[in-house]
A and B are shown apart, each in its own frame.
Chain A
């Protein structure tokens, strides 16, 4: 195994930009790793070898000619969740209905990656249309967690999180509607960030729940996530909900945090995020992480956010409602699958037959729940009430942030669960999002940073750090300080504890 794949994105960028190693060499090392290991992990749905090498060559030419590189991450490879449109490269969203669809345009996020010289290796597996917490809802097979191949890598962005933990890519992109960046990060021992809603453009992000969907960076270190955050963030006139304000100074915050001094920082522990659904090993790892924050000088207090308990039910009304509307676009007419266009079948029959054949069970469940919640007679009791809960949760956050700088909690109540354990129990699956959902409903930023292993099962636990809207720098600083202290105590980078995978021959 090439030593290059173990390096961080920041280290790779430094070596590439100094000419010590070429981006083509780095890219080939990762493509080789994917060829060797992905038959066992199945993180990727599509690998774009030619496109990746061409992008790498362009960066190498800049370096050789002494031209300034396009960005601090120019030449560094990345794994892209298959929910962003890529011109000329298949985009499936993990769904049969978009099998072989090749979009005619790039998402804004993809354009920014290309302009920054980031090397897109390929598209990663995901729960169909980002609906799920395990990547088992993909129409193209499950992704395996590199820490234990019999367990889930989280979801919906399990392909991206597994690619990082398997050293197939040092950077990845996810999307987080109810936790789909943070929960996969938590269960794979990687870093995942959901920016403030509107912080990263949604143009070209295939819509699931438009008022909640948010793209964000995934990496193995806090600094790498920050570097990627600054590449993909910022205002986009093509997304009318995009925030017209500068990207928060997250790279500077990550570097400041790495100095390991949190004196003067007030940290709130959310009281509501504990109880019967939480594994003892998760709670004890979380408590140890809070102790570390205290040792770094932070002032830790307990905070109550009483309406957070209503986040899960509100989310599982709002997201299905918006998805039932958004997924109406898959009508078998303009793109994607068409089934049953024969025997004089009408457009409506073809539409129904196509959607039946093209959507998986979870997508159908959510479309029907949304159809129900939006029907007249039920609207006020379900959707209307859920939108009010959203206001109450935003108020809980606002009240908490009057007294503390950041909030912390476990990222998800359990470690990675076995593949198959929750597929027939949708409500048990939904509980994986218990701690991540409030930030989506309030639109505030939050991230997951690895908090060591659970003493119960030896699997990674995530520390969630939440901040007020557009105050991402606060959580990056705390996460970076924690990361340095954690690695110092363990005598090396946490991710190196992931077991060596059998390499296919």
Chain B
């Protein structure tokens, strides 16, 4: 039976890059617990010899000819960017202060 603590929710939020608030931690801790309990019944199915299905329609490798075709122009690619500098995506610093 799963039992998700507030600390575990905080850990999941960190992994998922969600800066959740204290109030959200309280709310999600309760809700995630209920959700996980309601889906735990998948464990009841005796499925040792059952192969997993990840895609419903059986497809093997799909290939196409390696031919160049037009992609997005620079302007198009940058059109939705939150910040642009010198025709490139401008991003915040990648390395932390401590590194």
What residues of chain A have their CB less than 8 Å away from a CB belonging to chain B? 101-105, 196-198, 211, 237, 240-241, 243, 307, 310, 312-314, 316-317, 324, 328, 331-338, 341, 344-353, 355-356, 359, 361, 364-365, 367-369, 371-372, 375, 381-382, 384-392, 394, 426-427, 430, 441-444, 469
Contacts and interface: CB of A to CB of B under 8 A. Distances in A.
8 closest cross-chain pairs (CB), A and B: A443-B56, A387-B52, A338-B82, A335-B80, A388-B47, A104-B76, A313-B39, A356-B19
Question: Interface SS of chain B: helix, strand, loop or mixed?
Answer: loop
Contacts, number: 186
A395 to B, nearest CB: 9
Contact of B54 (A105, A211, A375): A211
Question: Interface SS of chain A: helix, strand, loop or mixed?
Answer: helix
Contacts of B76: 104-105
Nearest to B72: A104
A348 B21 CA distance: 17
Contacts of B89: 333-334
27 contacts: A101-B80, A103-B80, A104-B76, A104-B79, A211-B54, A211-B55, A237-B64, A307-B45, A313-B41, A316-B39, A317-B42, A333-B82, A334-B89, A345-B92, A346-B95, A349-B19, A365-B28, A371-B16, A372-B32, A381-B43, A384-B52, A386-B42, A392-B45, A394-B53, A426-B35, A442-B56, A443-B55
B81 A371 contact: no
A388 B18 contact: no
A348 B17 contact: yes
A371 B76 CA distance: 32
Contacts of A337: 82
B56 A368 contact: no
Interface of B: 4, 9, 12-21, 24, 27-28, 31-32, 34-36, 38-45, 47, 50-57, 59, 62, 64, 72, 76-77, 79-83, 89, 91-97
Nearest to B20: A356
Contacts of B34: 426-427
Contacts of A241: 55, 57, 59, 62
Contacts of A316: 35, 38-39
A365 B82 contact: no
A246 to B, nearest CB: 15
Contacts of A430: 38
B16 A368 contact: yes
Nearest to A240: B62
Contacts of B81: 333-335
Contacts of A353: 19
Given A104-B77, A365-B32, A382-B39, 9 more contacts: A101-B80, A105-B76, A211-B54, A313-B41, A333-B81, A350-B92, A352-B17, A355-B17, A364-B20
A464 to B, nearest CB: 18
Contacts of B41: 310, 313
A324 B16 CA distance: 8
Nearest to B79: A104
Nearest to B76: A104
B78 to A, nearest CB: 9
B13 A368 contact: yes
B28 A364 contact: yes
Nearest to A337: B82
A312 B38 CA distance: 9
A104 to B, nearest CB: 4
Nearest to B63: A240
A243 B80 CA distance: 32
Contacts of B38: 313, 316, 427, 430
Contacts of B14: 352
Given A390-B52, A444-B56, A385 B92 contact: no
Q: Name the residue among B34, B38, B56, B92 with the largest chain A CB count within 10 angstroms.
A: B56
B86 to A, nearest CB: 16
A350 B89 CA distance: 15
Contacts of B19: 349, 352-353, 355-356
A501 B20 CA distance: 41
Contacts of A441: 53, 56
A310 B45 contact: yes
A341 B15 CA distance: 20
